[in-house]
Amino acid sequence: MNAVAFEPTFLSRPRVSAAGFRRALVAGMRRVLERREHLNRINVFPVPDGDTGSNLAFTLHAVLAGGLSRPATSVGALMRAVAEDAIEGARGNSGAILAQFFCGISEALGDARQLSPEGIALAVRAGSTHARSALAQPREGTILSVIQAFAEALQAPARNLESWFGAALDTARSALADTPRQLAVLRQAGVVDAGAQGFVDLIEGIHGFILDQRVSQGVAELDEEDYSTLEWHAEADADKPWCSECLITGPALQRDALRAALVDLGADSVVLAGSATRARLHAHVADPGALFELAGRFGAVSARKAEDMRAQHRAAQRHARVTVVTDSASDLPAGIGEQLPLDVVPVRVSFGDEDFLDRVSISHAEFYRRLREGGVLPQTSQPPPGDFRRCFELLLSHSESVVYVGLARVLSGTLQSGEAAASRCGAGRVRVIDSGQVSCAQALLAIAAAECAHAGGSVAEIEALLAQLRAQTYLFAAARDIQHAVRGGRVPHWILPLARTLGLTAIARMRTDGRLAVNGALFGKHRVPERFARYLARRLPRANRWRVMVGHCDAAEEAAALLSALRQRLAVTRHWLVETGPAIGAHAGPGTLVVGFSPEPGQEG
């Protein structure tokens, strides 16, 4: 390449910022999504199965919902996220080739913070080489030919970004028009290659963004604070903050009827890609549960995901030194994440073949309604590492570090899932801490950690605080009816008739090894909250000033009575009343009361 042809000011430093690069990629990918039906219609090679547009949409949506859904500090970091998301979400022949193209670009960019046209040309050439190497028998007249023509055209000297990129686009269009000459099946069908058309659509969208922005020497840079504001207003309707998706399968999906139903629901940013038997749905909605319920009318629903864009927006604006994450097994008070740098990854809940996200696609009221009706017992499972990774990486784009305060290791694989995700975030920026607790006690520790972070505390200071508090944090639960524990195999069957005959309310306590074990019982069913409060007050250190969180499994009135009785007997500095979710409710059943105690930070234990 003749570097002298560049203007000196253009060569003096890269001109395409990470923010601008991201917005250009988003524009290009949206162009492909808009054209997916056309790509499906012209898909005849290698198999006339009419799914190239859908496969590209699946692949690119994985990227849009992942690395491109948040700002990055450098183009290198951004492209690494794009490449990883594309590989994980790649579908079909063209999707896999495009993902490999992104990987080649990522490797070439390395840790570059910004880009010049020369850097773009070198990266695209590397991407073309990687894409071709991915096939054992590459064929001309496909997406490979068009990528290569585009890459070669970018090697020309650049004096102006618009004309330089536009000339390379024209070359790619010519290569696309030539694909029928190279492949007889295309010539016979009278179409160009669908995958190649999809690639041209991608770079047409990027070029359109460059022209619309009127950028003369690179994509316009954005101030990070302004960019954070733009993220919310440009991408999300404030009344539809949940970015939701699911997989729908069935023998003959009524896609047109589903689209009409989505319009009636008021869903935005809808992507429905796939075939007549398998489709991926993405939408921005006010209520993910309503979306998944609607989707269930058209087929079997799985792979539910919903992310609160309001929380993402808050994370982008607060720029905390450390952000704390917990899982939804900790029964946090509503709205606490709006006050503190505290985010939540939902655990999974299932009733038979129906899968839900705790607190997102199934409410506690609906959970306990199903539980009371009997039938299939609910099961809980840990979030996959991908859920944690998306959360961690989003927060790390705005924070120096993340501390994950997780569910007790011995109770679930949730902590291990978080550890697996943390190991992929690099440079030890995510610290995973075993709370040794669940429910209200876990929530108390997460809140204390977030308060420390909010006050400017370091990871080391948060770790030290939790080490001190954990040894003095307690969890108790009182189960009115142990039939759910018996049905689940956690309590022997012979105990149930005895407990009912004696009118026992079983009391469990979290042990130091992180396991819940029966610790006692109350005889009779009268005035349980008041008697439970007396029981607890006798077993806590009297000198402490306590933070108290009372949770209930669909028993709000009794929980309020319990909290009132505890405040009369203990020195309570702060208190919360919360709904207890499936982590406890699935095992203890409706009517259970849960109490967490933790000393006020700063006092001597």
Cβ(502)–Cβ(516) below 8 Å: no
Q: Greater confidence, 425 or 497?
A: 425
Q: Greater confidence, 275 or 91?
A: 91
Looking at the structure, do residues 58 and 20 belong to the same domain, yes or no?
yes
**pLDDT by residue (tens digit) across 549-587?**
999 988 999 999 999 999 999 999 999 999 998 888 887
Residue 403 pLDDT: 97
Give the DSSP H/E element, type plus range, for residue 320.
none
Q: What is the amino acid identity at position 243? A: C
pLDDT tier for residue 280 given thresholds of 50, 70 and 90: low
Strand order in the sheet with 593-599: 516-523, 504-510, 474-479, 593-599, 545-552, 571-579
Cβ(585)–Cβ(552) below 8 Å: no
Residue 232 pLDDT: 35
Residue 246 lies in a domain: yes
Looking at the structure, do residues 187 and 314 belong to the same domain, yes or no?
no
User: Residue 111 pLDDT more than 80?
Assistant: yes
Residue 211 lies in a domain: yes
**Final residue in a domain of this structure, among 276, 296, 318:** 318
Task: State the average pLDDT for the chain.
Answer: 81
- Across the range 255-261, mean pLDDT stands at 86
Residue 486 pLDDT: 52
Domain housing 49: 3-222
Q: Greater confidence, 385 or 449?
A: 449
Residue 537 lies in a domain: yes
Looking at the structure, do residues 590 and 514 belong to the same domain, yes or no?
yes
Residue 358 pLDDT: 87
**pLDDT by residue (tens digit) across 117-172?**
889 999 999 999 988 775 546 789 989 999 999 999 999 987 788 889 999 999 99
Looking at the structure, do residues 162 and 297 belong to the same domain, yes or no?
no
Residue 325 lies in a domain: no
Residue 29 pLDDT: 93
Rounded to two decimals, the pTM is 0.65
User: Residue 178 pLDDT more than 80?
Assistant: yes
- Give me the number of domains the chain comprises: 3
Looking at the structure, do residues 130 and 251 belong to the same domain, yes or no?
no
Looking at the structure, do residues 187 and 271 belong to the same domain, yes or no?
no
Residue 3 pLDDT: 31
| Cα distance between residue 101 and residue 223, in whole Å | 30
| Cα distance between residue 122 and residue 365, in whole Å | 56
Cβ(112)–Cβ(126) below 8 Å: no
- Report helix angle 18-34 to 194-213, nearest 10: 130
Cα pseudo-dihedral 111, 404, 242, 249, rounded to 10: 90
Point out which residues pair with 242 in neighbouring strands: 285, 308
> What phi, psi does 282 have (nearest 5°)?
-130, 135
Provide long-range contacts, Cβ within 8 A and 24+ apart, for 163-166: 164/117, 165/203, 165/206, 165/207, 165/210, 166/207
Q: Greater confidence, 572 or 382?
A: 572
Looking at the structure, do residues 268 and 129 belong to the same domain, yes or no?
no
Sequence-separated (6 or more) residues with CB below 8 Å from residue 201: 28, 31, 32, 35, 39
Residue 41 lies in a domain: yes
Residue 431 lies in a domain: no
**pLDDT by residue (tens digit) across 468-515?**
999 999 999 888 766 665 555 455 454 555 566 556 777 888 888 877
Residue 211 pLDDT: 85
Residue 121 pLDDT: 93
Q: Looking at 275-413, list the stretches that DSSP marks H as alpha helix, in order from N- to C-terminal side.
A: 288-296, 309-318, 336-339, 364-373, 385-396
pLDDT tier for residue 213 given thresholds of 50, 70 and 90: low
**Final residue in a domain of this structure, among 318, 341, 358:** 318
Looking at the structure, do residues 193 and 290 belong to the same domain, yes or no?
no
Residue 582 pLDDT: 86
Looking at the structure, do residues 18 and 80 belong to the same domain, yes or no?
yes
Closest CA to 293 of 351, 359, 362: 362
| Cα distance between residue 478 and residue 588, in whole Å | 9
Residue 327 pLDDT: 96
Residue 324 lies in a domain: no
User: Residue 189 pLDDT more than 50?
Assistant: yes
Cβ(62)–Cβ(85) below 8 Å: yes
Give the DSSP H/E element, type plus range, for residue 403.
strand 401-406
Residue 457 lies in a domain: no
Residues in the chain: 605
| Cα distance between residue 552 and residue 547, in whole Å | 17
Cβ(301)–Cβ(246) below 8 Å: yes
- Across the range 528-557, mean pLDDT stands at 92
Looking at the structure, do residues 211 and 242 belong to the same domain, yes or no?
no
pLDDT tier for residue 217 given thresholds of 50, 70 and 90: very low
Looking at the structure, do residues 218 and 247 belong to the same domain, yes or no?
no
User: Residue 446 pLDDT more than 60?
Assistant: yes
pLDDT tier for residue 368 given thresholds of 50, 70 and 90: confident
- Across the range 273-283, mean pLDDT stands at 66
User: Residue 110 pLDDT more than 60?
Assistant: yes
What CATH number does residue 519 fall under? 3.30.1180.10
**pLDDT by residue (tens digit) across 72-101?**
889 999 999 998 887 667 666 687 678 778
| Cα distance between residue 553 and residue 291, in whole Å | 26
Residue 536 pLDDT: 94
**Final residue in a domain of this structure, among 295, 318, 341:** 318
Residue 432 pLDDT: 97
User: Residue 255 pLDDT more than 90?
Assistant: no
Looking at the structure, do residues 161 and 241 belong to the same domain, yes or no?
no
| Choice among 244-258, 459-473, 565-579 with the minimum mean pLDDT | 244-258
Cβ(443)–Cβ(332) below 8 Å: yes
| Cα distance between residue 297 and residue 275, in whole Å | 17
CB atoms inside a 10 Å sphere around CB 415:
24
- Token pair 């799914």 is at which residue? 51
pLDDT tier for residue 17 given thresholds of 50, 70 and 90: confident
Closest CA to 274 of 295, 288, 289: 295
